Structure 1
Amino acid sequence: MKMMFRWFGEGNDTVPLRYIKQIPGTEGIVWALHDLPAGEEWPMEKIEAVRKQAVDSGLSNEVVESVNVHEAIKLGHSDRDYYIENYNKTIEKLASVGVKVICYNFMPVFDWFRTDLKKRLKDGSTALFYEHEKVTNMNVRQIVKQNADDLDFHMPGWEPERLGELSTLLDSYQGITEEDLFSNLHYFLNAIIPMAEANGVKMAIHPDDPPWSIFGLPRIITNRENISRMLKMVDSASNCLTFCSGSLGANPKNHPGNIVREFADRIAFAHIRNVKTEDNGDFIEASHRTQDGSVDIYDVVKALHESGYKGYVRPDHGRHIWDEVCRPGYGLYDRALGIMYLLGVWDSLNRIPSLKEK
């Protein structure tokens, strides 16, 4: 497997590329143009600038996360073809600078969502936390209205500058079902996978986080059945999955290791992180170590190893440790520790004769 590290760009990330290069076993960065809104065609000069930064630092630039999907595509609006055309042009440009995998998601309105970005753990560290009851009882529209003039107000997983759009977007999804969303995803895949195939790019959809409906919005990439359905929609080596142990593992009904075993040949990218789940639906990010959470990280890595996985992997959301001031979930220290744990498991599996022979 090829170990990667997510990087948000100069001026937008507390972790410089020279630090990433110093993490043993790390081959490249997972990047994006985060200043561009969803639906916009990515300018070649900006793409080339990031490629040069990576290469000059001795790191590969082969994975992009994410080229975000415009809401018009998810909603199936009449203008979706315009945004799909921009998306295809971006795929072609990214391929021209060596990008092999593009991660994206199809979550309506929100990306990942948490209720607390810095919940304190017993060891004194802080981590991303999801409180199920709070989300269930949350009136999102009212919260935004009450805080509309507060420049410091933000919602986890939602950019402050987009808060003004929230009520309008929620209105747009009234009456949209999971079947509607699947249909719109199918339309999108039929339109972009030929471009991906022609350019040697794997499009890797990320599971929904959390893997269930929030605020009445449909979510569809939530379990093995729905993953299987998505992959069968366009049966192509370019239609792939970004496996995420934390997103899928937040629901105890999912078995992340077995999902890897079933879909290994269609996993182009893997996010590996641990979460501690509670019976009431709450969960919190934990260290990557199996014993610290509810996800069997050892089994996940073992499943990848058994499959002969040669794709891309990155540590996902880390805790905030040693007083690091960083983007929530994306500091240096805990993610670097995560890489060492994951590579330690992988190296150990390589030394087991029966597994090595495979």
Structure 2
Amino acid sequence: MIEGWRWYGDFDRISLGEIAQTGASSIVTALHEVPYGEVWTRDVIATRRNQIQRAGFSWQVTESLPIHERIKRGDGDLTELFANYRQSMANLSDCGIKVICYNFMPLLDWTRTDLNAPVATGATCLRFSLPKMAAFDVYMVERPGAEKDFTPQDLAAAKVWIDQSTPESREVLTNAIMAGLPGAYERYDAPGLREALKPYEGMTHSDLRANYSRFLSEVIATAEELGLVFAVHPDDPPRDILGLPRIVSCADDIRWNLAAVDSPANGLTLCAGSLGANPANDVPAIAREFADKIHFAHLRNVRKDPDGSFEEAAHLEGDTDMVDLIRALLAEEKRRTTEGRKDCSIVFRPDHGHEMLGDAAKQTHPGYPLIGRLRGLCELRGVIAGQA
């Protein structure tokens, strides 16, 4: 397995020199400064690649080549957006980047309600609190019909939180929910988010699946021609958010996604944390079922609460059996080697580490501290070595 590390380029407070000290060999990055829908030019991609290579790393996976919201909505004439996307694919391929991680989550990316939840060690972690999410949705965004998406227990806990909240705590919650949007992309306050949700009103899971299928039909044939592979990232969290449907949340969803366009280029990012937050998911079993379509892996762990809340656990301490999951990925690499495939080694990266020791002073992207992720990488490295 190839040790990767997420790096946000010019937006990142962690330098390539510091990453080199972790022992990781492959940078996972994107052109976060380019607005959605615009072409990633070959020159800009090559400049970023050369910067990474001069620092001693490879760049094999882009995370992410984002999909414009109009494509997710199926909104109007999408000819230019699809053409731009395919041109970006061609430019990435020309520069030797052959794996595209992406997601099809409407409007929001990964969503948390707490960026600095305390853990027993004195470190902090990312957390998703269902009562806080209900409070935000029902009482702050005031989305019509939001109450129907929560249980009476959720709503009661949300009312307690909102009654005890202050303007400052409500602002902290809003900022946490917006934190999953990488790079220089638009954030919303609660009223702004209510307006941003309006174009999605009435969208069903079937509607989103139809738009997703159209996207795949527009790009996968080109990916085959270019020697690229796509790796869809599961929904995070694996549940509908703010009335927005999510369609990559469980094994059944993945079966549909991969069958929508049956191609070796249509594959999966195995995100242990996103899938692990769904109590119905057996993550090692999912890895074994879809092993031949796994083009990239995020290895992290979560600890779930009975009410649907969850938090990021240490990499070997959460609800997912990480040793068994790594065993499944190593078995797939061995199978590919036996078959003589070129893509034998799977790039993985530690994900969403705890903020610990001197991490807080660094003020990195939420969930992406230096020391916390280094701890995770070292633990995963040990498990992989122990399977040899």
Normalised by the length of structure 1, the TM-score is: 0.91
Matches within 5 A, 1:299-310: 299-308=324-333, 310=345
Structure 1: runs of 5 or more not aligned? 351-358
Q: Does the residue aligned with 1:89 lie in a helix, a strand or coil?
A: helix
- Aligned residue number for residue 8 of structure 2: 8
Q: Would you say 1:330 and 2:368 are equivalent positions? A: yes
Which amino acid is the alignment partner of residue 16 of structure 2? L
- Aligned residue number for residue 353 of structure 1: none
Q: From 124, 134, 144, give the equivalent of 2:132.
A: 134
Matches within 5 A, 1:17-56: 17-24=16-23, 26-56=24-54
Q: Would you say 1:69 and 2:92 are equivalent positions? A: no
CA separation in 2, counterparts of 1:4 and 1:227?
A: 24
CA separation in 2, counterparts of 1:156 and 1:287?
A: 21
Q: Any conservation in 1 of the 2:296–2:347 contact (CA below 8 Å)?
A: yes
Q: From 86, 93, 96, give the equivalent of 2:84.
A: 86
Structure 2: runs of 5 or more not aligned? 144-166, 334-343
- Aligned residue number for residue 230 of structure 1: 257
CA separation in 1, counterparts of 2:181 and 2:346?
A: 30
Which amino acid is the alignment partner of residue 339 of structure 1? L
Q: Would you say 1:177 and 2:204 are equivalent positions? A: yes
CA separation in 1, counterparts of 2:111 and 2:367?
A: 12
Which amino acid is the alignment partner of residue 18 of structure 2? Y
Structure 1 residue 144, shift from structure 2 partner: 10
- Aligned residue number for residue 341 of structure 1: 379
Q: Any conservation in 1 of the 2:42–2:94 contact (CA below 8 Å)?
A: no
CA separation in 1, counterparts of 2:141 and 2:291?
A: 42
Q: From 320, 334, 342, give the equivalent of 2:355.
A: 320
CA separation in 2, counterparts of 1:142 and 1:284?
A: 23
Q: Would you say 1:293 and 2:318 are equivalent positions? A: yes
Q: From 113, 117, 120, give the equivalent of 1:119.
A: 117
Q: Any conservation in 2 of the 1:276–1:294 contact (CA below 8 Å)?
A: yes
Q: Any conservation in 2 of the 1:136–1:214 contact (CA below 8 Å)?
A: no
Matches within 5 A, 1:88-103: 88-103=86-101
What do the CA deviations read for 1:259-306 (whole angstroms, capped 9, x no partner)? 0000000000000001111111111111111xx211111111011112
Q: Does the residue aligned with 2:348 lie in a helix, a strand or coil?
A: strand
CA separation in 1, counterparts of 2:36 and 2:375?
A: 32
CA separation in 2, counterparts of 1:34 and 1:144?
A: 31
Q: From 192, 215, 219, give the equivalent of 1:188.
A: 215
Structure 1 stretches of at least 4 aligned residues deviating more than 4 Å after TM superposition: 143-147, 150-153
From the superposition, tell whether residues 224 and 340 of structure 1 become closer, same or farther in structure 2 (CA, over 3 Å): same
Q: Does the residue aligned with 2:243 lie in a helix, a strand or coil?
A: coil
Structure 1 residue 161, shift from structure 2 partner: 3.5
- Aligned residue number for residue 180 of structure 2: 157
Q: Which structure shows the bigger proportion of residues in helix conformation?
A: 2
Which amino acid is the alignment partner of residue 365 of structure 2? R
Q: Any conservation in 1 of the 2:28–2:59 contact (CA below 8 Å)?
A: yes
Q: Any conservation in 2 of the 1:72–1:79 contact (CA below 8 Å)?
A: no
CA separation in 2, counterparts of 1:77 and 1:109?
A: 14
What do the CA deviations read for 1:286-336 (whole angstroms, capped 9, x no partner)? 1111xx211111111011112226221111111100031222111111211
From the superposition, tell whether residues 141 and 83 of structure 1 become closer, same or farther in structure 2 (CA, over 3 Å): farther
Answer with 79-88 or 56-65: which moved more. 79-88
- How big is the alpha-carbon RMSD for the aligned residues of Structure 1 and Structure 2? 2.2
Structure 1 residue 22, shift from structure 2 partner: 2.2
Normalised by the length of structure 2, the TM-score is: 0.84
Q: Does the residue aligned with 1:161 lie in a helix, a strand or coil?
A: coil
Which amino acid is the alignment partner of residue 4 of structure 2? M
Structure 1 residue 151, shift from structure 2 partner: 12
Structure 1 residue 257, shift from structure 2 partner: 0.2
Q: Any conservation in 2 of the 1:14–1:331 contact (CA below 8 Å)?
A: no
What do the CA deviations read for 1:91-133 (whole angstroms, capped 9, x no partner)? 0001111101010000011100000111111211011110012
CA separation in 1, counterparts of 2:120 and 2:25?
A: 33
- Aligned residue number for residue 356 of structure 1: none
Which amino acid is the alignment partner of residue 8 of structure 1? Y
What do the CA deviations read for 1:180-229 (whole angstroms, capped 9, x no partner)? 11110000000001111111111111000000101111000000011011
Q: Any conservation in 2 of the 1:64–1:99 contact (CA below 8 Å)?
A: yes
Structure 1 residue 141, shift from structure 2 partner: 8.7
Which amino acid is the alignment partner of residue 51 of structure 2? Q
Q: How many residues align?
A: 344
Q: Any conservation in 1 of the 2:114–2:173 contact (CA below 8 Å)?
A: no
Q: Does the residue aligned with 1:139 lie in a helix, a strand or coil?
A: helix
Q: Any conservation in 1 of the 2:42–2:95 contact (CA below 8 Å)?
A: no
CA separation in 1, counterparts of 2:193 and 2:93?
A: 33
CA separation in 2, counterparts of 1:57 and 1:63?
A: 16
